[in-house]
Structure formats: C-alpha cells, structure tokens
Amino acid sequence: MVRHRSRPAASLEARLLKFAEEARAAANFIAPGPEQDQLLRKAIKAETLARAAERLSLAEDLSIG
C-alpha cells in the first residue's frame, strides 16, 4: 500500500499565526462571554506555539551548521 503524503504549503509557524489571527477576528464578532474568552485563549496558545516552533527551528539550524 502506497501512502500519498504531501507537505503543507506554509510553515508550522505561519499556519499557527494565521489560526491565531482568524481566532482573534472571530472573537471580535461575538459578544463578550465564555465563547469569546475561549477563542482568545486559543489565539494566545497558537501564538505561543508559533514562537516556540520558531525558536526550535532556529536552534536546530544553528546546531546543524
């Protein structure tokens, strides 16, 4: 059985930042409350993960060279 796998067009960091931006935009359109808080928390987590992934990729690049 052959697996047909493809790589995402954007980097992990870019995809996480796009998700965070979309979550923040969606949070602006709903009334304050638990749903808005949940979207904002997800945006913050995605931004944090993007920064961590960027640092890890930079550290990996430095250790290879």
Residue 29 forms part of a structural domain: yes
Residue 5 forms part of a structural domain: no
Residues with Cβ < 8 Å from 39, sequence gap 6 or more? 23, 24, 26, 27, 30
Question: What is the number of structural domains in the chain?
Answer: 1
Residues of the chain with pLDDT under 70: 64-65
Residue 25 forms part of a structural domain: yes
Residue 30 zone, left/alpha/beta (φ > 0; ψ -120 to 50; rest): beta
Residue 6 forms part of a structural domain: no
Residue 33 forms part of a structural domain: yes
Residue 3 forms part of a structural domain: no
pLDDT of residue 3: 82
* Cα 7 to the center of its chain, rounded Å: 16
Residue 20 forms part of a structural domain: yes
Domain that residue 54 falls in: 12-64
pLDDT of residue 22: 97
pTM of the predicted model as reported, rounded to 2 decimal places: 0.79
